[in-house]
Amino acid sequence: MSIGSQLPRALAFWLLAAVLTLLLAASAAPSPLYLVYQQRWHFSPLDLTSVYAANSLALLVTLLFVGSLSDHLGRRPVLLAAVAVELVSMLVFAEARGLAWLFAARIIQGVATGAATGALSAGLIDLQPPGSRLGALLTNVASAGGLALGALGCGLLVSYGPAPTRLVYWLLVTALTAALPLLAIVPETVPREAMAADGGWRRSLRPRVGVPAPVRAAFTALLPSITATWALAGLYLSLGGSLVHSVLGLNSQLAGALVIVALQGSSAVTAVLARDWTVRRSLLAGPVLLIAGVGLALIALRTGSVWLFFTASAVAGVGFGPSFSGALRTLVSLAPADRRAEVVTAVYVLSYLALSLPAVAAGLAVSHIGLTGTATIYGVAVCVLEAVALAGSLLRREPVAAPAPAHALTHAPVPARAPHGLPIGGPGSVAPCPRAAAAQAS
């Protein structure tokens, strides 16, 4: 703990939640603008989805290598550095002059978000009220809610404000700059001994990924569901605006933003309402809702029904969270206690690859079979993958062995050699480290 003035712990807790929301809002802000950039600079759908994917891949690599750095250097310095890097990305976006600028901005932003999320979510767990699971809940709500708010705010500014490709970024620069002095007086929750440990930070830079034998069968069975959920989010975040504009005929940039709001907003609400669902209920209800939502969305695209498409997107968003959290909780419950961190890391490597690579493939397909054809094949593939996972869940019994209750695991001090920080709720959501993520997932 520093000697100078500090924010009260309760206030610091809510500040970290607000900063997490702000960072995820910044991450979603470019999505409603992709079509504007494409029309202005005349690049292909493949270029568009590649710009989107660059952020996800940069975020994944950063999480793998520096996700738990704050366990050794302290929460504050890592957060301050990450927010400063995020400011650089916002400035590059604001002054972007072409496709290369967008790639640079998204990569820088991915690095900043990846570095910040481990420290933010660890800080939320550290500072949450004793005996509470509020840190884990707010991690999920702030993540999905931040994506929804970022898309909505950008859509409104692009539709009704001046300087459509600059104003949103300058507002984010202002908000992030205002957050920096407050982050500088957040209480440091990492013990001095942990920060002083010789070579600890170097050891933390080595990712540990693995799927031990007791988990492999379930991992294989749930792999289709994990892939499908995150791939669907990637399609919406990269090509959602193009679908609304070119297929449904809505020219407003706000409409493109509202598609993301429908998916992510419903996911944020579900994170609260379904927080006490059992694993089996999540594994059954989540995929059913997601399949129903995607199926209705495909019908909407074929019939040109705008309202059906938005409703379907919200239904799919309701199914996203339970589908993924049920899969993660199942795998965590099967993993040996000393291997849970590796399993959670493996899950998120798969998740972020699914979030980015299928979207790039979709961008390539658009040039050959068009948006409607691409969305149809993509949606059918998502439904098939979820159906396969659902069938496996119906046939598979619930794990006999269960991890210790979440409240018993999430309130201990973060160990000096905690493994890497990775998200837990949905696209962009975060947890302090796989060990804490395992606790939250239980």
Please check whether residue 206 is in contact with residue 327, taking contact to mean a CB–CB distance below 8 angstroms.
no
435: in domain = yes
Taking alpha carbons only, the member of 220, 230, 442, 206 closest to residue 342 is: 206
- Give the separation between CA 73 and CA 181, rounded to whole angstroms: 19
Q: How many CB atoms lie within 10 A of CB 303?
A: 11
- Give the separation between CA 296 and CA 291, rounded to whole angstroms: 9
Q: Which of 61-65, 112-116, 367-371, 428-432 has the lowest mean pLDDT?
A: 428-432
199: in domain = no
Question: Stretch 70-77: mean pLDDT, rounded?
Answer: 81
Confidence of residue 324 (pLDDT cuts 50, 70, 90): confident
Q: pTM above 0.85?
A: no
Query: Domain range holding 248?
Result: 9-190+209-441
Please check whether residue 401 is in contact with residue 334, taking contact to mean a CB–CB distance below 8 angstroms.
yes
Give the model confidence (pLDDT) of 149-196 as tens digits.
999 999 999 888 898 889 999 999 999 999 999 999 988 877 776 555
| DSSP 8-state assignment for residue 187 | P
The DSSP string of 397-420 is PPPS--PPPHHHHSSSPPPTT---
Residue with tokens 């995607």: 294
What are residue 431's DSSP bridge partners? 422
Amino acid type, 336: P
2: in domain = no
pLDDT at 209: 67
16: in domain = yes
Q: Which two tokens stand for residue 256?
A: 């493109």
The three-state DSSP-derived secondary structure of 2-54 is CCCCCCCHHHHHHHHHHHHHHHHHHHHCCHHHHHHHHHHHCCCHHHHHHHHHH
Residue with more model confidence, 32 or 418: 32
Number of Cα atoms under 13 Å in the Cβ half of residue 256: 29
Give the model confidence (pLDDT) of 335-379 as tens digits.
887 677 678 778 888 888 998 999 999 999 998 999 999 999 999
157: in domain = yes
270: in domain = yes
| DSSP 8-state assignment for residue 167 | H
State the first-to-last Cα distance of the chain, in angstroms, to the nearest integer: 31
Compute CA 427 distance to the chain's CA centroid, rounded to the nearest angstrom: 2
CATH of the domain at 226: 1.20.1250.20
Mean pLDDT of all residues in the chain? 82
202: in domain = no
Q: How many CB atoms lie within 10 A of CB 201?
A: 18
101: in domain = yes
Please check whether residue 172 is in contact with residue 157, taking contact to mean a CB–CB distance below 8 angstroms.
no
Round the CA-based radius of gyration of the chain to a whole number and report it. Answer: 21
Region of 6 (left: φ > 0; alpha: ψ -120 to 50; beta: rest) is beta
- Give the separation between CA 245 and CA 282, rounded to whole angstroms: 34
Please check whether residue 216 is in contact with residue 27, taking contact to mean a CB–CB distance below 8 angstroms.
no
Give the model confidence (pLDDT) of 223-236 as tens digits.
999 999 999 999 99
- For the chain, what is the domain count? 1
pLDDT at 25: 93
